């Protein structure tokens, strides 16, 4: 399979995944995964892979400047979609036509508009608490390729190419994002960019001006290394870790806090760890009663939040029983949004208010 075919196959696989992916709550599981609107941009080096076709070849020995800007939307589950504009420039060190050197100068400039689909790999899902997020993606679009000032001699005739042509373009992207906090990330990425074959005409120069019969075809392929920044507008820090209140013996109640994602009542891996600690402590101390109290933030209606806090409390109680605690020792209560840990206005999503308190007495 050729590299082009591999890129197109990647785009074919990723596109249905984006279409089927369902949006998740606005607060992401990890701050490294983008959710909602974001902008991105980058600048770096690019070099062309001697585009050639029909005997016409452009040769570029140097590395030149390129850049891109994008606006996109993260679904919060790893998938992102964006619209990108890009620009690449380079100077041709030599040109060839049917095996013979044609000239030694000229520029090749590229402008493109692309629609990209990308996927972020959240390393926290693999137990790695790192601020780095690898990502891959692909895109399709349209590119305008300018050959400017390409001069030389073909069959004894002095010619000049100074045209802009356009065709279908595609690209593959692989990168790393380093989370700087506050929605800002530093990105480093490699891009492969290619444009379908384009045909250029040429003019005679000197005293015998006019079009020449020869046609010059190129199929540009470009490699880029980019450094950039990405900013997510609605980045929210993750829910704080569960806090265990300090204990002074004897007969002081021990409190464990279990936090939940927005509008969710299922237990995260960290939540299960805290519940396991509470269950273990209840067996090692003279615990006679375990109070489990569910709470919610104020982002929904009071009636809905009352039911949500009940589901959260029931989920924690069920996990305690699974960990060996006698159900008869557990008292379950749901307070809805009535007892916030952090007071907020109505409608505000506050991670510390989405909790269940486990109190050992």
Distance CA 239, CA 262 (A): 9
Domain ranges of the chain: 3-232, 254-360
pLDDT at 246: 62
Q: How far apart are CA 116 and CA 84, in angstroms?
A: 7
Q: Say what the pLDDT of residue 272 is.
A: 92
Fold of 3-232: Porin (2.40.160)
- 254-360: CATH superfamily: OmpA-like domain (3.30.1330.60)
Q: Return the structure tokens found at 263.
A: 């509008």
Tens digits of residue pLDDT in 255-304: 899 999 999 999 999 999 999 999 888 888 777 789 999 999 999 899 99
- In the block, tokens 């800007």 appear at 69
How does DSSP classify residue 11?
Answer: H
Classify 237 as helix, strand or coil.
coil
Confidence (pLDDT) at 31: 67
Whole-number Å distance between alpha carbons of 344 and 82: 34
Q: Return the H-helix or E-strand segment holding 9.
A: helix 3-20
* CB neighbour burial string for 41-61, b if at least 16 within 10 angstroms, e if fewer: bbebebbbebbbeeebbbebe
Residue 173: partners with Cβ closer than 8 Å, 6 or more residues away: 116, 118, 135, 136, 137, 138, 139, 189, 190, 191
pLDDT tens, 146-164?
888 888 787 777 888 888 9
Rg of the chain over CA atoms, in angstroms? Answer: 30
Residues with pLDDT less than 50, the chain: 1, 3, 6-29, 248-251
């Amino acid at each position: 399979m050729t590299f082009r075919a591999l890129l197109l196959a990647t785009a074919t696989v990723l596109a249905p995944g984006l279409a089927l992916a369902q949006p998740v709550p606005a607060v992401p599981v990890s701050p490294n995964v983008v959710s909602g609107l974001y902008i991105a941009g980058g600048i770096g080096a690019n070099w062309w892979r001697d585009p050639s076709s029909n005997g016409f070849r452009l040769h570029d020995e140097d590395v030149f400047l390129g850049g891109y800007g994008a606006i996109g939307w993260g679904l919060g589950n790893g998938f992102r979609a964006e619209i990108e504009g890009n620009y690449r420039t380079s100077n041709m060190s030599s040109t060839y036509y049917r095996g013979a050197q044609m000239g030694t100068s000229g520029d090749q400039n590229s402008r493109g508009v692309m629609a990209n689909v990308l996927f972020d790999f959240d390393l926290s899902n693999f137990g790695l608490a790192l601020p780095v997020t690898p990502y891959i993606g692909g895109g399709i679009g349209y590119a305008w390729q300018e050959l400017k000032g390409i001069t030389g001699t073909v069959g004894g005739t002095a010619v000049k190419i100074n045209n802009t042509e356009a065709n279908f373009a595609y690209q593959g992207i692989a990168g790393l994002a380093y989370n700087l906090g506050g929605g800002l990330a530093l990105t480093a990425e490699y891009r492969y960019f290619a444009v379908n074959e384009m045909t250029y005409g040429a003019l005679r120069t000197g005293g015998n001006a006019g079009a020449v019969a020869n046609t010059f075809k190129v199929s540009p392929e470009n490699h880029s290394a980019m450094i950039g920044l990405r900013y997510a507008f609605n980045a929210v820090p993750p829910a704080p870790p569960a806090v265990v209140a300090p204990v002074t013996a004897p007969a002081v109640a021990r409190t464990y806090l279990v936090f939940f994602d927005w509008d969710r009542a299922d237990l995260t891996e960290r939540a299960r760890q805290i519940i396991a600690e509470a269950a273990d402590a209840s067996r090692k101390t003279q615990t006679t009663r375990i109070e489990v109290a569910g709470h919610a933030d104020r982002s929904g209606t009071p009636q809905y939040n009352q039911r949500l806090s009940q589901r959260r409390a029931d989920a924690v109680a069920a996990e305690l029983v699974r960990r060996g605690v006698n159900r008869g020792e557990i008292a379950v209560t749901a307070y809805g949004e009535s007892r916030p840990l952090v007071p907020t206005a109505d409608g505000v999503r506050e991670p510390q208010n989405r909790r269940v308190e486990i109190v050992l007495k």
